[in-house]
A and B are shown apart, each in its own frame.
Chain A
Amino acid sequence: MLFDQILQYCLSGLSTGAIYGLIGVGFSIIFNATGIINFAQGEFVMLGGMLTLLFLETLALPLWAAIPCAIAASMVAGLLFERLAIRPLRQPTPINLVIITIGGSILIRGLAMLAWGKDTHALPPFSGNDPISILGATILPQHIWILVVTVFIVAVNRFYFYHTISGKAMRACAYNRRAAGLVGIDVRRMVLFSFVISSALGSIAGLIVAPLTMTSYDVGIMLGLKGFCAAIIGGMSSGIATVIGGLLLGILESLGAGLISSGYKDAIAFIILLLILVIRPQGLFGKAESERV
């Protein structure tokens, strides 16, 4: 009985954790390219869900068409965000930039509220709602979608950053901006590109989780913070470490909510965040002296 329960909590924690991981990877990509924490990342998660809904219901597109449209629209939003809010800054110190991203996040949230109201909406699940039972625990097909999409994205990410020349150039910017400029890499274009990739990842996370958790104009705050938490656990790596951080967070949260009290669900995430920041600020898997700029 207890085993069934724990398995159940772990499985559902795994899928929310995968979402946190995806959002966290979005945080890390921007952090690695620019050294700033983009607190508007959560809003792109919200946009993913809400825009899919827009294309699905208002424009009456089928789901398979609405999803790519929503991702593309979020990427455009990410591009505009970088162009209009980040790049024009005269003195781009990290603290100014971070504050700008917080402002941007409030703006996007406000616009979403004006456009879609304060109601929560649900997206239809991608392939039905029939529960699948695994060793006495049950999961929904959407959970499987989430895990598959996450694995796919992590693989594509890994391939891009390590096996294509443009991905290497982007890593080079993260490691040494000055040297990157010297070998002819346009660092500003890479920054723009990092925002576009991150908003795509955020929106994907938002739209695959929306059928499970519902979506509304303000889901970005909490999901964004959890994603940030995952990125911190993963030591701001844009790869597997952050996803593992997300999974860990998701499972602990789900276990805590199930075994202790569901009221502590969010508290658990933030306690972990604080513990990591105090005890291992370099992340759970990082080496102490490694510095990423």
Chain B
Amino acid sequence: MLEVAGITQIFGGVTALQDVSFAIHKGDITGVIGPNGAGKTTLFNIITGIYTQTSGTVTLEGKNISAFPPERLARRGMVRTFQNIELFNQMTVLENVMVGMHTRSSCGLLSCALKMPWSIAEERRIRKGAVKWLDFAGITDLADVTAGNLPFGQGRLLEIARALAVEPRIMLMDEPAAGLNSQETQALGQLIRRIREMGITIVLVEHDMELVMDICDRIVVLNLGMKLAEGTPREIQENHEVIAAYLGEDD
């Protein structure tokens, strides 16, 4: 589904990532973990087109997408969510999701402006679709709230609903549980599972080990910009190098 090969990223004199390669299988939930500064978010930013890597390639479904800007990736079925949620704060919750469906709108820019009556029908169709995603994320009752006024946890759910509205095939989540309490985290785990059941491949960077071990099929461990290990949650838990990296070397 998604392959990264030989990704190296150098910022000035600092090597943030060095020759990182792994593959993500269709339908899996893959966790990317590692201590702070391991390069997880940098890797995400490269995959989703926010940074351009110094070298290496990113391949999505057999197509090299290395230098694609985010909007083209979204059209190819890749979306992401942010650690510090990025919403359209001045819009309502429903409008946020509707904008997410923009790429699925059959109506181009100018044609939209020229054929207003048709686009009213389009708008109605999109509104219906957006409500469906709010339902899925369990925030239907907040549809008319201004997004900027949402508490953090619900903002996160909205960001996920908006990402789903793009109808992605793969979804990258940057620390989805950050800032959530344990109850919300549990609900999030359920939500991520339900997203996978729709056939969407999921990659997540996460610090909440309980969540990662609970929902992930595979885990990739980064440390100091390099891939340290890769495997099932059980394999990772038993991997000595991983334990050493997290807890410190026992001489």
Contact = CB atoms under 8 A, between A and B. Distances in A.
Interface of A: 159-160, 163-169, 171-172, 175-176, 178-187, 189-190, 193, 290
B166 A183 contact: yes
B79 A166 contact: no
Interface string B162-179: 110110000000000000
B120 interface: yes
Interface of B: 48, 50, 69-71, 74-75, 79-80, 86-91, 95, 98-103, 105, 107, 109-110, 112-113, 116, 119-120, 122-123, 126, 162-163, 165-166
B123 A184 contact: no
A182 B80 contact: yes
Contacts of B89: 175-176
B109 A166 contact: yes
B119 A164 contact: yes
A165 B88 contact: no
B112 A187 contact: no
26 contacts: A164-B112, A164-B119, A164-B122, A164-B123, A165-B98, A165-B101, A165-B112, A165-B119, A166-B107, A166-B119, A168-B91, A168-B99, A171-B91, A175-B89, A175-B90, A176-B89, A179-B86, A181-B74, A182-B70, A182-B80, A182-B86, A183-B99, A183-B100, A184-B71, A186-B71, A290-B90
Contact of A165 (B70, B79, B107): B107
A181 B112 contact: no
A184 B95 CA distance: 15
- Give the most central of A159, A165, A290: most B CB within 10 Å: A165
B100 to A, nearest CB: 5
A184 B90 contact: no
A183 B79 contact: yes
B74 A163 contact: no
A141 B87 CA distance: 47
Given A168-B91, A193-B109, A181 B71 contact: yes
A164 B116 contact: yes
A133 B116 CA distance: 38
B199 to A, nearest CB: 19
Nearest to B165: A183
A22 B69 CA distance: 35
Contacts of B69: 181
Nearest to A175: B88
Contacts of B74: 181-184
A178 B126 CA distance: 22
Nearest to A178: B86
B163 A163 contact: no
A26 B166 CA distance: 31
A172 B95 CA distance: 9
B116 A165 contact: no
Contacts of A184: 71, 74-75, 102-103, 166
Nearest to A187: B71
Nearest to A196: B110
A181 B123 contact: no
Contacts of B100: 183
A20 to B, nearest CB: 24
Given A183-B166, A185-B99, A187-B71, A165 B126 contact: yes
A183 B166 CA distance: 6
Nearest to A181: B70
Nearest to A159: B116
A163 B120 CA distance: 8
Contacts of B101: 165
A183 B102 contact: yes
B102 A169 contact: yes
A165 B75 contact: no
A171 B96 CA distance: 10
Given A171-B91, A176-B89, A179-B86, A185 B102 contact: yes
A178 B75 CA distance: 15
Nearest to B69: A181
A25 to B, nearest CB: 16
Nearest to A182: B70
Nearest to B75: A184
- The 10 A-B pairs of least Cβ separation, nearest first, read A184-B74, A184-B103, A166-B112, A181-B70, A179-B86, A175-B88, A172-B99, A183-B100, A169-B102, A181-B71
Contacts of A189: 109
Contacts of B105: 165-166
Contacts of A175: 88-91
A83 B77 CA distance: 29
A178 B163 CA distance: 13
Given A164-B119, A165-B122, A165-B123, A183 B162 contact: yes
A179 B116 CA distance: 26
B119 A185 contact: no
A195 to B, nearest CB: 13
B71 A185 contact: yes
B113 A166 contact: yes
B119 A168 contact: no
Contact of A169 (B70, B79, B99, B110): B99
